[in-house]
Amino acid sequence: MRVPFSAVPFALAALAGLAACSDHQPEQIRPAAELVAALPPGRPAIYAAALDGPEPFVRALYAVHAAGGGGLEPLPAGRDPIYGRTLNAMIGADFRKANGEVPFLNYDPICACQDSDGLVLDSLVVTETGAATAEAAVVFTNLGETHRQTLKLLKEGQSWRVVDVLVPGESPLTEQLLKVIE
């Protein structure tokens, strides 16, 4: 049913009046981190946590992978809001340059895998490096193998995003992608 625009101010005023007369106090607004637990693992939980801070965001990323990656359906290359604008642009360019072949980035950089089976987040240390930047040192086990990596994070708008992935002994993911797309 479509409500005429002229009815909207009246409806809002009526609701405000009802709220003012009510003895019921509204619930306190809870931070996104508390709400994430109620969400099924997947993109909704990640997006909610990304609003709450770098640590809840990273924990939500790995919780989805620990649950087998369910609810993390792939989005078009270069358009995943989990990643920052620049990293997304590089991923998209890598995909386009592959021209139907397998792109360089043919795995999920969050879990360093194509499949997450039995992934366990062993440790997480988040260090805020600025007002809108942070680094998350992550140790996780996937398919019986222990992985260490650092996620470089940036707050874009109101949400935290992954802007680079650093793996010991390797060039940063952005440098690897830059070499491929140049």
Which one, of 162, 180, 181, lies nearest residue 88 by Cα?
162
The tens digit of pLDDT for each residue in 118-144 reads: 789 999 999 999 999 999 999 999 888
pLDDT of res. 160: 98
Of 36-50, 91-105, 151-165, give the lowest mean pLDDT range. 36-50
Of 33-42, 48-57, 101-110, 123-132, give the lowest mean pLDDT range. 33-42
Highest mean pLDDT among 64-78, 96-110, 120-134: 120-134
Residue spans of alpha helices (H) in 22-71: 32-36, 43-52, 54-66
At 74, is the secondary structure helix, strand, or coil? coil
Round the average pLDDT of the chain to a whole number and report it. Answer: 80
**What long-range pairs does 165-172 form, CB within 8 A, spacing at least 24?**
165/109, 165/110, 167/112
Q: What is the mean pLDDT of residues 170-181?
A: 96
pLDDT of res. 64: 87
Its pTM stands at 0.76
Tokens of 56: 């809840």
Tokens of 65: 């992978």
- Which CATH number is correct for 30-181, 2.60.120, 3.90.550, 3.10.450, 3.40.720? 3.10.450
- Is a pLDDT exceeding 70 seen at residue 147? yes
Query: Which are the contacts of 11, defined by CB distance < 8 A and separation ≥ 6?
Result: 3
